[in-house]
């Protein structure tokens, strides 16, 4: 178990290193430069040179890579060129919103998917309707779903704010602002969880001990809740983890629809400004989150499913 | 019917292919504005109405479908080619080949697809090709996994061992013996990937990184119509419904194929 | 007496009703600037939020583009135009409580004219030989040579004055003398301003708080306006959206002129546009009126040279090359192009600018009608800056030149148009060195004519200023003589 964990963590670190180095390499080929993006269209050459030196952009690529690597190993993400602030600070400002959105979206998806899957299994008429609806929801572009919800529940019926995020200091306001974006994510991702839950419930319902329970005269609803739900939720957990990584990027579009200042808008700004330290920091943090989600899934899977042995 | 999803999926995908083909037959220019008829409801001269700039929605829809075909085609081809070749090699050769390729795939998987799209847009200019390369690249790990798992499980089967005993080289084994036997699951993956590519294109178009105006893409049309939703629903409904049904079609097709190919059911 | 009192009460009541003070105004703008100091970046978003609202100079532009007093009460130039004396307003305080005196002015302009200081436009101030404080409220500028643009440059956002000695902090926490003081810059979210109690103009401003929100997505802006999250979309409302909002009784659309010349830039240093006949053919081949009507739904004014109708000494040259496809074809033939050898080039569009994008596409369509094949290429903004703007590695492009009074760029042969004209440079120098405004104006008009004659670029139109807001927002600037969302006199009627 311990050696498995160690190997898994080492692999995760290697993955992170490779991923961010690939991005570093990529950035070397990009046209455009941060100096121009800061100073703007009409700036004088003298002002350009001064800023270039100050940012260390006159060094050769290998030196910059070495600088970046040693800094990153010390967990120092450097300073954003665009904002003149430490990258870590900027990420700290943006990450809570995106993470909150992802977690709320995932929670909402689960909250929708599980009861509906139970409903579908309990009543065959609902099964077809719900399966169809879920397949359709999965096929609608996320942003379109968001726009429809936006116009319905923020513009036409002004129940929720249409844009922006005031921060978590006022939890009620924060939830109000996150409700529509999270609902959008939840609706579009519920389908996968629904299918997964339905599939594994079906499989569990075919097991012998369920048949035994039924034979003993336990009511069908009780069988579903008491005997089938827990074992069937194992695969659900793993899908949930994978979805977390996926949602991290899926959230970006929703952030744009609802004008939320999350990681997505930061990435768009960073690229436009050619803010390499910020972009690198974003890549690192996003990749780390995805790797972490995967790692957790692996571990959880092993913990929950006794059939998986750590070799 | 044994597999309704396969049937409905094929039907929808067929419809989509017909739309793409019809773009060659419908003579109206999708980019020609008709300023007197902006946001017009359906009429004989504009069978599906017009968009905010007075462009014919039917023409844009058909050309959008054609572009979607290109979009999905490029993305899936990139993902398929890179993923399957590397997956088969990793699964078949094993040892350090497997280690290196798997690590590379892990790294690729850890890079958010959107970030790849942003980087490619910055490198090549935003557009259909750059965004689809990015989407394709982000699909490589999925194909890699399917191919690698398949190759590993087939490697030890008697027919592969027989081929090796008869003196077949590794390239021949991989492409003559492993690949054909894995086509089923890969086809399933490709169909699902096509659906995902269409959604990704819509999302990227929404961010201004996908198909560039004035060329119509289903995602782009949706975005352009968004601000006018309270005024006229047609410009949003037409591409929205078409896109959703097409994605649904490819998803169902993939599911149906999987059900049919899965020996357990 | 009693009647008079009643009248007085009525009048004051009426005033109070007409201009209720207080409240918060939330304004959407498209982009977030890199810093908040207009002397550290040429980003137009900085003055849009801060010019006159927070940061002021000796003089400023009013809504019509006239130069009016700000921190200087009055000023006079010597007959030779070499000595300028400014008399400062007394009792003015900065937002940090420090008094504003001549020392602040001296510090500011000594820094501005030093090319090593990192000031974005040292060239505006290079003719200043010395700047001295005669007493705490009198400043004397001495110029090396007459400069016709001296006063104009002092009114620019670049010339705003902060407390002396304060430089680095101005980038993120600007302190000025305006009616609003800067409160916070929430990165990626917006900039918050608050009423400055110590402002020198009595009764101003009316609003308590202003919140400029960065909302890059126009659709999100529209939805937020409709939902009441914001009350104003400060700029860049699309013509279609403007038409829609105009029909809605809850909203109003404010439109006027800008100083943005939407310019189809042609690389005069490279084939095919190093040939005057080709450049002239392009002018005849484009129907600007149709572009304004068709693409911009009637918003915007056709122009014929690099100056906007709202600016001083403007000469209307929009009809200099009438739309005439036959003439365009003839000119092309003369230059050696025809049906068998069509004119082909790449037309580079910058991704983030919607008006220009759309105009570019429509222009390419018009050009194709006479057989010109313009291959559209869309590049991202940073790429455009480095490749087109800095490297002049392009054939044709389109962009809005938004700086006011920027015709001087044509005197720089290395500018990305690569327009190299000795005559234009001479004219420009003569314009700058002519103290008499009337004669200078004549030269300015001649410069515009020369550019049109040489067909350096295709100047399509003066970009319209289009803002949209809720009905109750009153006092919004109709024009943009300089980038400024001026909220000094804005109030919310109830």
What's the average model confidence in pLDDT over C208-222? 91
The CA distance from C325 to C327, in Å, is: 5
What's the average model confidence in pLDDT over B215-242? 81
Contact between chains at B244 and A136 (C-beta distance less than 8 A): yes
Find the helix packing angle between A276-304 and B95-110, rounded to 10°: 120
The CA distance from B35 to B50, in Å, is: 10
Q: Which tens digits make up the pLDDT trace of C40-58?
A: 888 889 999 999 999 999 9
Contact between chains at C119 and A47 (C-beta distance less than 8 A): yes
What's the average model confidence in pLDDT over A8-36? 81
Which residues on neighbouring strands pair with residue B77, listed in sequence order?
none
pLDDT on residue C14? 46
Do residues C487 and C207 make contact, with C-beta atoms less than 8 angstroms apart? Answer: yes
pLDDT on residue C11? 47
Cα A13 to Cα A288, B103, B113, B223: the distances in Å are: 9, 11, 20, 39
Average predicted confidence (pLDDT) for chain C: 91
Best to test chain C binding among A147, A256, A261 (most C CBs inside 10 Å): A261
pLDDT value at C340 more than 80? yes
Q: Cis ω on the peptide bond leading into residue C483 (within 30° of 0)?
A: no
Q: Which tens digits make up the pLDDT trace of A121-176?
A: 878 888 888 888 888 888 888 888 888 898 888 888 888 888 888 888 888 888 99
User: Which residue matches tokens 């001495």?
Assistant: C142
Which residues on neighbouring strands pair with residue C344, listed in sequence order?
C373
Global pTM reads 0.83
Do residues C256 and C335 make contact, with C-beta atoms less than 8 angstroms apart? Answer: no
pLDDT on residue A182? 93
**Minimal CA–CA distance to B99: which of B140, B151, B148, B146?**
B148
The CA distance from C384 to C363, in Å, is: 19
**Minimal CA–CA distance to A148: which of B54, C44, B236, C206?**
B236
pLDDT on residue A277? 85
Q: Which tens digits make up the pLDDT trace of C109-142?
A: 999 988 788 788 888 999 999 999 999 999 999 9
H/E stretch holding A108: helix A87-122
Q: Which tens digits make up the pLDDT trace of B81-112?
A: 999 999 988 888 878 888 899 889 988 888 87
DSSP C55: B
What's the average model confidence in pLDDT over B245-263? 84
Q: Looking at CA atoms only, how far is residue B125 from chain C in angstroms? A: 5
For CA atoms A131, A135, A140, A141, give the dihedral sign: positive
Residues of C in contact with A268 (CB under 8 A): 216
Do residues C207 and C50 make contact, with C-beta atoms less than 8 angstroms apart? Answer: no
What's the average model confidence in pLDDT over A217-234? 72
Do residues C112 and C119 make contact, with C-beta atoms less than 8 angstroms apart? Answer: yes
Average predicted confidence (pLDDT) for chain A: 81
Which residues on neighbouring strands pair with residue C140, listed in sequence order?
C85, C132
pLDDT on residue B265? 43
The SS3 of residue C438 is helix
What's the average model confidence in pLDDT over A295-303? 73
Q: Which residues contact A50 (CB under 8 A, 6 or more apart)?
A: C116, C118
Is C220 at the interface with chain B, CB within 8 A? no
Q: Looking at CA atoms only, how far is residue A144 from chain C in angstroms? A: 12
pLDDT on residue C8? 47
Instruction: Respond yes or no on whether ipTM tops 0.85.
Output: no
Contact between chains at C383 and B223 (C-beta distance less than 8 A): no
Is A41 at the interface with chain C, CB within 8 A? yes
Do residues B54 and B37 make contact, with C-beta atoms less than 8 angstroms apart? Answer: yes
The CA distance from C288 to C310, in Å, is: 19
pLDDT on residue A1? 62
pLDDT on residue B92? 84
Best to test chain C binding among A157, A164, A256 (most C CBs inside 10 Å): A164
DSSP assignment of C353-398 equals: -HHHHHHHHHHHHHHHTTT-EEEEEEE-HHHIIIIIIIT---SEEE
Contact between chains at C223 and A150 (C-beta distance less than 8 A): yes
* Angle, vertex CA C457, rays to CA C454 and CA C463, nearest 5: 135
The CA distance from C8 to C84, in Å, is: 44
Lowest-confidence region among C13-22, C85-94, C222-231: C13-22
Cα B152 to Cα B67, B102, B146, C110, C253: the distances in Å are: 37, 13, 10, 74, 66
- Locate the chain C residue with the closest alpha carbon to B35: C294
pLDDT on residue A304? 62
pLDDT value at B228 more than 80? no
Contact between chains at B203 and A253 (C-beta distance less than 8 A): yes
Average predicted confidence (pLDDT) for chain B: 83
Q: Cis ω on the peptide bond leading into residue C205 (within 30° of 0)?
A: yes
What's the average model confidence in pLDDT over B9-26? 91
pLDDT value at A37 more than 70? no
**Minimal CA–CA distance to C259: which of C38, C79, C465?**
C465
Q: With bands split at pLDDT 50, 70 and 90, how would you rate the model's confidence at C461?
A: very high
Q: Which tens digits make up the pLDDT trace of B122-160?
A: 888 778 888 888 889 988 988 998 888 888 888 777 777
Q: With bands split at pLDDT 50, 70 and 90, how would you rate the model's confidence at C270?
A: very high
What's the average model confidence in pLDDT over C261-290? 95
**Are β-strands C24-29 and C232-233 bridged in parallel, bridged antiparallel, or unpaired?**
parallel
User: Which residue matches tokens 């304060």?
Assistant: C166
What's the average model confidence in pLDDT over A246-274? 82
The SS3 of residue C436 is coil
pLDDT on residue C59? 97
The CA distance from A8 to A295, in Å, is: 7
Cα C336 to Cα C275, C367, C403: the distances in Å are: 11, 17, 37
H/E stretch holding A35: helix A34-39
Rg (CA), chain A: 24
Range among B188-192, C210-214, C338-342 rated most confident: C210-214
What's the average model confidence in pLDDT over C76-96? 94
The CA distance from A255 to A266, in Å, is: 11
Do residues A216 and A227 make contact, with C-beta atoms less than 8 angstroms apart? Answer: no
Residues of C in contact with B231 (CB under 8 A): 244
pLDDT value at C455 more than 80? yes
Strand order in the sheet with C72-77: C72-77, C83-88, C138-143, C128-135
- Residue C425's Cβ-count burial label (10 Å; 0-12, 13-18, 19+) is middle
Is A140 at the interface with chain B, CB within 8 A? yes
Find the helix packing angle between A61-73 and A276-304, rounded to 10°: 50
pLDDT on residue A245? 67
pLDDT value at C396 more than 90? yes
Chain B (23-52) residues lying within 8 Å, Cβ to Cβ, of chain C: 31, 33, 35, 38, 52
What's the average model confidence in pLDDT over C306-310? 94
pLDDT value at A232 more than 80? no
pLDDT on residue A43? 62
DSSP assignment of C119-175 equals: -S-GGGGTTEEEEEEEETTEEEEEESS--TTHHHHHHSGGG----TT--GGGGTS--
Q: Which residues contact B242 (CB under 8 A, 6 or more apart)?
A: B16, B19, B61, B64, B65, B218
Terminal Cα-to-Cα distance of chain B (whole angstroms): 15
Q: Which tens digits make up the pLDDT trace of A180-215?
A: 999 999 998 888 888 888 888 887 777 777 778 777
The CA distance from B246 to B72, in Å, is: 11
Residues of C in contact with A31 (CB under 8 A): 382-383, 386-387
φ, ψ of residue C383 to 5 degrees: the values are -65, -40
H/E stretch holding C118: none
Q: With bands split at pLDDT 50, 70 and 90, how would you rate the model's confidence at A249?
A: low
Best to test chain B binding among C226, C244, C388 (most B CBs inside 10 Å): C244
Q: With bands split at pLDDT 50, 70 and 90, how would you rate the model's confidence at C10?
A: very low
- Residue B17's Cβ-count burial label (10 Å; 0-12, 13-18, 19+) is middle
Share of residues in chain C with pLDDT > 70 (%): 96
H/E stretch holding C323: none
Lowest-confidence region among A62-71, C243-252, C450-459: A62-71
The CA distance from A304 to A1, in Å, is: 14
pLDDT value at C264 more than 80? yes
Question: Structural domains in chain B?
Answer: 4-261 (1.10.3720.10)
């Amino acid at each position: 178990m311990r050696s498995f964990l160690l190997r898994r963590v080492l692999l995760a670190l290697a993955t992170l290193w490779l991923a961010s180095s690939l991005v570093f390499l990529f950035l070397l080929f990009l046209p455009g430069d941060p100096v121009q993006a800061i100073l703007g269209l009409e700036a004088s050459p003298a002002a350009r040179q001064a800023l270039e030196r100050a940012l260390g952009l006159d060094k050769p690529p290998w030196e910059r890579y070495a600088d970046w690597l040693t800094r990153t190993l010390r967990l120092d993400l450097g300073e954003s060129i665009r904002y003149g602030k430490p990258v870590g600070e900027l990420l700290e400002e943006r990450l809570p919103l995106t993470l909150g959105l992802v977690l709320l979206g995932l929670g909402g998806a689960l909250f929708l998917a599980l009861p509906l899957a139970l409903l579908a299994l309990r009543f065959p008429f609902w099964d077809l309707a719900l399966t169809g609806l879920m397949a359709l929801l999965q096929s609608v572009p996320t942003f379109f779903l968001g726009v429809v919800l936006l116009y319905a529940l923020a513009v036409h019926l002004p129940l929720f704010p249409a844009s922006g995020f005031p921060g978590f200091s006022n939890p009620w306001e924060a939830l109000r602002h996150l409700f529509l974006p999270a609902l959008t994510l939840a609706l579009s991702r519920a389908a996968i969880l629904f299918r997964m839950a339905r599939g594994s419930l079906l499989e569990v319902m075919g097991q012998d001990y369920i048949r035994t329970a039924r034979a003993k005269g336990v009511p069908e609803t009780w069988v579903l809740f008491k005997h089938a739900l827990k074992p069937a939720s194992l695969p659900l957990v793993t899908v949930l983890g994978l979805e977390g990584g996926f949602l991290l990027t899926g959230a970006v579009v929703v952030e744009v629809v609802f004008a939320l200042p999350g990681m997505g808008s930061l990435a768009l700004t960073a690229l436009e400004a050619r803010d390499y330290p910020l972009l690198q920091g974003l890549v690192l943090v996003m990749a780390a989150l995805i790797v972490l989600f995967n790692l957790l899934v692996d571990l959880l899977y092993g913990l929950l499913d006794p059939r998986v042995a750590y070799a | 019917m044994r597999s309704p999803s396969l049937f409905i999926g094929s039907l929808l995908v067929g419809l989509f292919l017909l739309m793409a083909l019809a773009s060659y037959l419908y003579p109206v220019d999708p980019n020609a504005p008709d300023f007197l008829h902006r946001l017009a409801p359906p009429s004989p001269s504009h069978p599906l109405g017009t968009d905010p700039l007075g462009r014919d929605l039917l023409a844009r829809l058909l050309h959008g479908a054609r572009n979607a075909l290109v979009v999905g085609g490029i993305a899936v081809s990139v993902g398929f080619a890179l993923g399957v070749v590397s997956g088969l090699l990793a699964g078949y050769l094993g040892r350090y080949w497997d280690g290196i390729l798997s690590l590379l795939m892990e790294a690729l998987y850890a890079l958010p697809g959107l970030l790849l799209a942003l980087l490619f847009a910055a490198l090549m200019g935003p557009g259909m090709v750059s965004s689809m390369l990015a989407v394709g690249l982000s699909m490589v790990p999925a194909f890699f996994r399917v191919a690698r798992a398949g190759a590993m499980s087939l490697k030890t089967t008697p027919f592969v061992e027989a081929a090796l005993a008869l003196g077949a080289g590794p390239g021949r084994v991989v492409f003559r013996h492993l690949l054909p036997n894995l086509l089923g699951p890969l086809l399933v993956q490709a169909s699902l990937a096509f659906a995902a590519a269409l959604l990704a294109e819509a999302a990227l178009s929404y961010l201004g990184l996908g198909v560039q105006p004035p060329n119509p893409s289903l995602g782009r049309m949706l975005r352009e119509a968004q601000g006018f939703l309270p005024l006229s629903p047609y410009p949003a409904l037409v591409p929205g419904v078409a896109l959703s049904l097409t994605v649904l079609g490819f998803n169902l097709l993939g599911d149906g194929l999987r059900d049919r190919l899965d020996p357990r059911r | 007496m009693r009647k008079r009192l009643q009248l007085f009460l009525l009048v004051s009541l009426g005033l109070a009703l007409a201009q209720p003070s207080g409240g918060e105004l939330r304004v959407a703008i498209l982009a977030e600037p890199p810093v908040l100091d207009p002397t550290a970046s040429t980003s137009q978003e900085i003055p849009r939020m801060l010019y006159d609202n927070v940061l002021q100079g000796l003089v400023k532009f009013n809504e019509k583009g006239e130069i009016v007093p700000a921190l200087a009460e009055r000023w006079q130039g010597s007959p030779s135009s070499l000595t300028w004396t400014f008399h400062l307003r007394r009792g003015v305080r900065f937002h940090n409580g420090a008094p504003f005196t001549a020392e602040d002015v001296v510090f500011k302009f000594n820094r501005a004219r030093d090319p090593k200081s990192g000031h974005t436009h040292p060239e505006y101030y290079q003719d200043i030989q010395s700047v001295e404080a005669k007493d705490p409220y009198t400043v004397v500028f001495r110029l090396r040579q007459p400069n016709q643009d001296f006063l104009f440059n002092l009114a620019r956002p670049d010339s705003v004055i902060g407390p002396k000695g304060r430089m680095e902090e101005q980038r993120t926490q600007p302190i000025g003398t305006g009616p609003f003081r800067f409160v916070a810059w929430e990165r990626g979210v917006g900039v918050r301003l608050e009423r400055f109690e110590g402002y020198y103009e009595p009764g101003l401003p009316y609003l308590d708080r202003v919140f400029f929100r960065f909302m890059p997505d126009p659709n999100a802006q529209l939805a937020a306006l409709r939902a009441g999250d914001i009350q104003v979309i400060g700029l860049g409302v699309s013509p279609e959206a403007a038409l829609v909002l105009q029909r809605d009784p809850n909203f109003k659309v404010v439109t006027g002129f800008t100083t943005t010349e939407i310019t189809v830039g042609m690389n005069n240093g490279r084939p095919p546009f190093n040939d005057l006949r080709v450049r002239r053919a392009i002018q005849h081949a484009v129907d600007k009126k149709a572009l304004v009507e068709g693409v911009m739904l009637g918003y915007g004014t056709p122009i014929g040279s690099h100056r906007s109708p709202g600016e001083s000494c403007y000469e209307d040259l929009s009809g200099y090359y009438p739309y005439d496809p036959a003439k365009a074809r003839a000119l092309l033939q003369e230059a050696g192009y025809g049906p068998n050898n069509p004119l082909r080039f790449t037309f580079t569009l910058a991704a983030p600018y919607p008006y220009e994008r759309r105009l570019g596409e429509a222009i390419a369509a018009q050009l194709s009608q006479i057989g010109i094949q313009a291959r559209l290429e869309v590049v991202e903004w940073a790429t455009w800056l480095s490749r087109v703007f800095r490297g002049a590695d392009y054939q044709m492009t389109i962009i809005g030149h938004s700086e006011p009074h920027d015709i001087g760029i044509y005197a720089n042969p290395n500018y990305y148009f690569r327009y190299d004209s000795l005559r234009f440079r001479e004219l420009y120098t003569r314009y700058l060195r002519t103290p008499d405004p009337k004669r200078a104006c004549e030269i300015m008009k001649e410069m515009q004519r020369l550019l049109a004659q040489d067909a350096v670029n295709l100047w399509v139109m003066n970009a319209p200023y289009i803002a949209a807001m809720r009905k109750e927002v009153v006092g919004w600037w109709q024009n943009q003589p300089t980038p400024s969302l001026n909220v000094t006199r804005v109030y919310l009627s109830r």
